[in-house]
A and B are shown apart, each in its own frame.
Chain A
């Protein structure tokens, strides 16, 4: 391992430890804000593997978040404990991703994105109307944890943090693996990948299943955390939009990008809400445009470019 890598890993471990102890110094509100950041980072990582690394944008990925939330809610309402329901939620989401993915992932990028929006909307409609099972448009409640609130939100802070770490690490190793090469080859040139004998359908479906897996667990945690969920909240298209913006500003196709992006966007949201209450929609729209025009590769992409340019300049000086 090169020295650079050792330093990076050391820094990351310090960051992790810092984050674990952070709640002691922050107000309950800030702890909840940061928990939300972790959650969005997880959802963004789910998008990242599909869009950033594979080049297929699942605009409707929020459907897995909603599925995770609702399976958890329904499961717990039948008396099942949380730790039993979470795997159930994840399995349900994976099944959906495979069933829906097999036919839809054949389509090109355009169609796939739109098809996922359609699916998400269809699932939303079904959940809204199947009132006996899901509580319909009015939402449904989950069991409230009978402990001191500060213990509860610290618990969820750590849970979301743990999920984010696991998701990020998993993604890191998946991307480096042979399977990850397959995924990246699809983004680079799908026809070439097929002609090299890579089973692209297999890669696409599995990638989406992985994406669904992590996104649904985030949804499950969210449901238990909030104790109340409603269809248009967990299947909201704005979740996907926010996730895409997070991915863009953090830097798609990088491992830390979604995490950085989640922090930046949440920071902005906090500021915008108090400063621009009546204009927060337009403000978000303008921010999106600014990001796309000035930082299209996101923070990590721009930093990577900067480092590359420095290296080239250093090399030029030496050769002269």
Chain B
């Protein structure tokens, strides 16, 4: 793999890593496979689009708004729709999150149409060079930002009261209840954190790539793979999974042609499921 390809793969992987963590947290801790996750990412993109078009705010700044809005949306969805059905088994959470995806998809289609949208940043074309390798500025900034956000998420989980509470609930729900923790609040915040990460990813995505409702499905496919590769609920696992997917896609596109990209991802996922269903890092753990 050429150095340029490696650089491309890494830059892509960083963005995927951020994207995968939110989904992995939702699945690993609440047991909810959020089929509307792709829609949440796209909402983040569209929010940044609007902020850019109306207020000329750079997506790296408007991502804060995306994150905040999607956090609230996530909390509402969890409390209103999902919490009552957690005991209903997987059919209900799958079909409910799919219903959310349908509704959001329809909203996006009505407001922004199915056309691919972009955010044209002034500095979008510039790149800098490291030896023989070209690094596009926006992708570089995205990578750095993603890394910072991932680290912040980790710090949140490890050092704040709520973060530790979420971990506690994930490790032993009854034990957490026994010491008086508000378990439902923990689950809700975790879920909302997941959608917030989705929104942040969306804003970053918008700074580099074009976006449209067509991406709704494939994005969910990608985060499945990342979550499974990394082990559910495992932040650094998901980060590694994201990088791996970035590598696999870039290599696949480079050697086999881009039509096989999605198939490669799926094949990887199914293989991992068959051989190491707990993810490449083994059983679920934190840190």
Contacts and interface: CB of A to CB of B under 8 A. Distances in A.
Interface in A107-127: 107, 109-111, 113-115, 117-119, 121-122, 125-126
Given A119-B270, A125-B263, A288 B98 contact: yes
Contacts of B99: 284-286, 288-289, 292
B274 A281 contact: no
Which of B84, B102, B263 has the most CB atoms of chain A within a 10 A radius of its CB?
A: B102
A279 B106 contact: yes
Nearest to A119: B270
B249 interface: no
Interface string B50-82: 000000000000000000000000000000010
A154 interface: no
A129 interface: yes
Contacts of B3: none
A175 interface: no
A122 B263 contact: yes
B31 A110 contact: yes
Interface stretch (B85-93, B160-168, B203-211): B85-93
A288 B260 contact: no
B139 interface: no
A318 interface: no
Contacts of B176: none
A113 B84 CA distance: 21
A289 B90 contact: no
A57 B269 contact: no
Interface string B196-222: 000000000000000000000100010
Contacts of B92: 292, 296
Contacts of A57: 90-91, 94
Contacts of B84: 293
A302 interface: no
Contact of A281 (B109, B221, B259, B266): B109
A266 B95 CA distance: 18
A252 B228 CA distance: 29
Nearest to B101: A285
Contact of A122 (B81, B90, B270): B270
Interface string A269-309: 00000000011111011101100110010000000000000
A252 B91 contact: yes
A104 B103 CA distance: 32
A113 B260 contact: no
Contact of B273 (A115, A281, A285): A115
Contacts, number: 114
Given A281-B106, A285-B102, A288-B102, A125 B94 contact: no
B141 interface: no
A59 B94 contact: yes
Q: Is the interface of A mostly helix, strand, loop or mixed?
A: helix
A111 B277 contact: yes
A272 B106 CA distance: 14
B263 A281 contact: no
A248 interface: yes
Given A117-B224, A122-B266, A241 B95 contact: yes
B33 interface: yes
Given A114-B228, A118-B273, A285-B103, A278 B266 contact: no
Contacts of B91: 51, 57, 244, 248, 252
B100 interface: yes
A161 B277 CA distance: 41
Q: Which of B33, B90, B96, B105 has the most CB of A within 10 A?
A: B90
A81 interface: no
Q: Give 5 nearest A-B pairs by CB, closest first.
A: A125-B263, A285-B102, A282-B106, A288-B99, A122-B266
30 contacts: A103-B274, A104-B270, A109-B89, A110-B31, A110-B33, A110-B90, A111-B228, A111-B277, A113-B33, A113-B94, A114-B228, A118-B221, A118-B266, A118-B269, A125-B266, A241-B95, A244-B91, A252-B91, A278-B106, A281-B106, A284-B99, A284-B102, A285-B98, A286-B99, A286-B103, A288-B99, A288-B102, A289-B81, A289-B96, A292-B99
